[in-house]
């Protein structure tokens, strides 16, 4: 699927989109999303809020895992905060480590535009046989 088509589908991810996240590369099992940082992403200590990092990573995972069909949801995610953000833009890259019949495992790394590794996540996803509700 073309990037343009994928971007269009994920316009529906309102929370990530309104936060400023954009898809820059996407195929089944891999996606890269970027986020230009603004004052809106700050926490009370002046840093970038953990929820911003998580949301960007979760979005990259959702794109990578659902390029072909919208049937994978995250079951559990772990985020490790590694360094303070020093740059002005973040990039999350989600990579499939294992895709089984029903579950999958992705790694997501978040770096800033100065090359600092800011956070890493491991996301365990569940793929429904059908796209129904209440899937897991």
* Strand spans (E) along 2-47: 22-27, 30-36
Rg of the chain over Cα atoms, rounded to whole angstroms, equals 15
- Asked whether position 94 contacts a copy of itself by CB under 8 A, the answer is no
One residue of 5, 15, 88, 114 binding a copy of itself per CB under 8 A: 15
Q: Distance between CA 53 and CA 79 in Å, rounded?
A: 9
- Which is nearer to a copy of itself, 46 or 115 (by Cβ)? 46
Instruction: Judge whether 61 and 74 are in contact, CB under 8 Å.
Output: yes
| Residues in touch with a copy of itself (CB under 8 A) | 9-16, 18-19, 39-46, 49-52, 54-56, 58-59, 62, 66, 70, 73-84, 97-98, 100-103, 105, 117, 120, 122, 124, 126, 133-136
């Amino acid at each position: 699927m073309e990037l343009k088509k994928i971007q269009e589908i994920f316009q529906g991810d309102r929370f990530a989109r309104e936060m400023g996240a954009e898809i820059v590369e996407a195929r089944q099992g891999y996606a890269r999303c970027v986020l230009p940082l603004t004052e809106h992403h700050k926490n009370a200590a002046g840093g970038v809020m953990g929820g911003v990092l998580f949301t960007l990573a979760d979005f990259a995972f959702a794109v990578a895992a659902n390029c072909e069909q919208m049937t994978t949801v995250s079951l559990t995610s772990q985020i490790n905060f590694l360094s303070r953000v020093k740059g002005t833009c973040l990039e999350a890259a989600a990579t499939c480590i294992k895709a089984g019949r029903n579950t999958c495992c992705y790694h997501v790394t978040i770096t800033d535009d100065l090359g600092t590794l800011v956070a890493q996540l491991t996301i365990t996803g569940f793929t429904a046989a059908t796209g129904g509700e209440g899937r897991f």
